Amino acid sequence: MSTQSQYKYTKPLPEMDPEDRPYWQSAKEHALKVQRCDDCGAWNFPPRPLCRKCQSAKLIWTKVSGRGHVYSSTTQHHPILPSYTKDDLPYNVSIVELEEGVRVISNVVGCPPDQVKIGMPVEIVYDDVTDQVTLPKYKPRAN
């Protein structure tokens, strides 16, 4: 079953380093977590072995609000891999800044790509692309 659905999904999937695995596990559980430093309180993303503010190793995977805004945004018009067909294009790719202050790259979905603007409030949606992998994505939200 799992192999069947993975076979259908041909776009790139995260390869999941040991450092990253808790992020993807939390996405799969639809409760996204990001590393937070237990010593200085700083949120860290992308995942790192040490807090980039204070170098503490006490990084705790902590649930985030899932709310934020678009920090920067682009629309992809060119197929970058054979697994992206004309039906997929154009699509949005954004840097979303979460309320916690961390920035993530994702897709803003649920509206046409040309309606995604810098500053737009967004909230998380979970896209279960395979049995194993859930991609956190974002959709517009009322401010």
Partner 1 sequence: MGNLRGKYAIVGVGETKVGKLPGIGTLTLHVEACKKAIDDAGLKVSEIDGLLTNQPLHDPFRTYSVVVAHSMGIKPDYSLDLGLGGATPVAMAQHAAMAIDAGLATAVVCVHARNQASLHLLPKQGMGVTRAYHGGVRDGCEDFEDPYGVMSGPGHHSFAAARHMHEFGTTSKQLGAVAVATRKHANMNPSATMYSKKLTLEDHQKSRMIIEPLRLPDCSLMSDGGAAFVVTSAERARNLKKKPVYIMGMGNHQPFASVMDAETLTTLGGAVSSKMAYKMAGLGPKDMDFAQIYDCFTITTLITLEDYGFCKKGEGGAFVEGGRIEIGGELPVNTHGGLLSHAHLEGMTHVTEAVKQLRGGDVEPERQVKDAEVGVVSGHGGYASTHASLVLSNRPS
Query: Closer to partner 1 at the Cβ: 15 or 143?
Result: 15
- No. of helices (H) and no. of strands (E), the chain: 2, 8
How many Å apart are CA 112 and CA 95, to the nearest integer?
A: 17
Q: How many CB atoms lie within 10 A of CB 32?
A: 22
> With contacts defined by CB under 8 A, how many residues of the chain interact with partner 1?
40
91 makes contact with partner 1 (CB under 8 A) = yes
Tokens of 19: 């450092």
74 makes contact with partner 1 (CB under 8 A) = yes
Tokens of 30: 């639809």
Query: Least separation, in Å, of the C-beta of 34 and partner 1?
Result: 11
Binding mask 103-142 for partner 1 (x = CB under 8 A): xxxxx----------x----------x---x-x-x-----
How many Å apart are CA 122 and CA 111, to the nearest integer?
A: 11
Q: Which of 5, 62, 75, 132 binds partner 1 (CB under 8 A)?
A: 75
